[in-house]
Chain A
């Protein structure tokens, strides 16, 4: 089922939680609503589910206006952060609930319910646990039961509110891959809320970045990561260095010498910074203050000698070895070729008549 949100707004008392949101989700898409707490992502999800009513705007399911429809009529599967399993029912009864509450003429036979529940238990890899109670399961198992319960009514949309937020890191990692696989198998339009950018990047086909009740950017994980359209998206997705004020003063990357105002901030990701031992054009002297060599990437903290700014660069282990290793106190030259400058919320680079994609997609190079 496709979902279209038109000018959707919701206020709680005086507080505007969701402000005029426009969003189109095609059938079968796997969407992450990503944002910090208080960004309105959970409210948006609850609006789609019908758990909250919007103050204005429209919600269309398959092109039909569902704005005024009740939760029951929307037939969405909803998975809560804290599972919301029925404590007093067995796992079997929890999963069967949605089928058992149907009016008699639509209710499947007892045998049909039994086989459906068994099938779902198998799908969520909890065979044989049907007779247990929620309190006897681990967090990860409970969340899988919650998912099976939501899937039992065969919803056309699956909505998940921070589904793995209450789980520990390892279980979370497992369940991410598992949910991704499940989506591929069932191909239900799925929307999940998360504040964890890694989770969003890893699982979703489409990432919707939210801040202050508004959508900042929508796109594929690669696209929002590599071409952020606002400073917020830049700083929220992945690690980023910020330069402002006099750090930008001497910055004339394209031969355009324009003064920068206080409102302007330059962003560059650690892996986009070029490091070399010798001076090259447009490079700045910097001193290594810390080297962190864990895993495939080496993180290097540096201090610019001209402005005293601290920043972080990232090299692959391979490149790091080619450079011959670094230690505290080493002097290098850093290149900020791919620096993207925003003036408030607008891209400053456009003034250099270069589209931002050309700036950020250029592969980083380490000259040694």
Chain B
């Protein structure tokens, strides 16, 4: 990226260095470092534009941004922070993006099953180690020829199921549970042929044009007439919702809006839910999701202290800046474990993977699930 195009980034010049964003930033909170704060990152980009720093000096700090966007509502100057980061990253798109193919995920599943990943978690580069550690211990693939059950009559409507790359490759069981749950609640579930990935990561890690194109293709594939697109990934939902004319919702949020036909029953459990940043800071649905969780599980859903802080996943940031991400995750895990949970809930796959990595390392023996699985796995007949 040329410095002149950086200079056009007015965002860097809207910031007046007041620092009111600092405490909203998970990486600043975890490290105490100015370079790991929104204000610090903006100062670095501005210094780059002013030719006071080189690109390489700025990169580590910008790589470590989790793009949780919690700083944006804290900014009195309304700095368009995420655009600044997105644009900065265009100069050097993350290499990982080109690996986001079905074959790579299949390889990771295979390596996890045969135990090679446990080894890879201990050797290799920090990035490869973080990546290896993030693959769930029991990944399940969503079958290509899955036929959703017929809706319980009378039918109340139709929904389109968005699969999503990570969701489909690692958490196929959650997708199956979702289809079954929606059908049992009276919805026709359609699973149209769709691109493997919605392009969200591409948009935020340096390839926005490609990301937008992938989104256009995904939205086109999910354009049948329906009540909603159902997605188990808050990150995908936020990305798709920007373009989709129909709501893109988490299944529980959707069912809670529609009203439960037969309220599900769950065991008495201590459940902690950590709201994903995309749901909280981008879609503004954390409150609605919280209510939905309480109502459908009849559990007191606990949240970690400072729940609004990111878990350290940040899409694929955890692999690009593992040290900073580790500090953020460690803090989150401590706060989750303070509740002594039986089960930890997450509604976004990268967060779920990140939490599983951290929780297992801390010796947590319970389940880490999307809440939709809580309703099926533990439901009492």
The answer to whether A and B come from one shared complex is: no
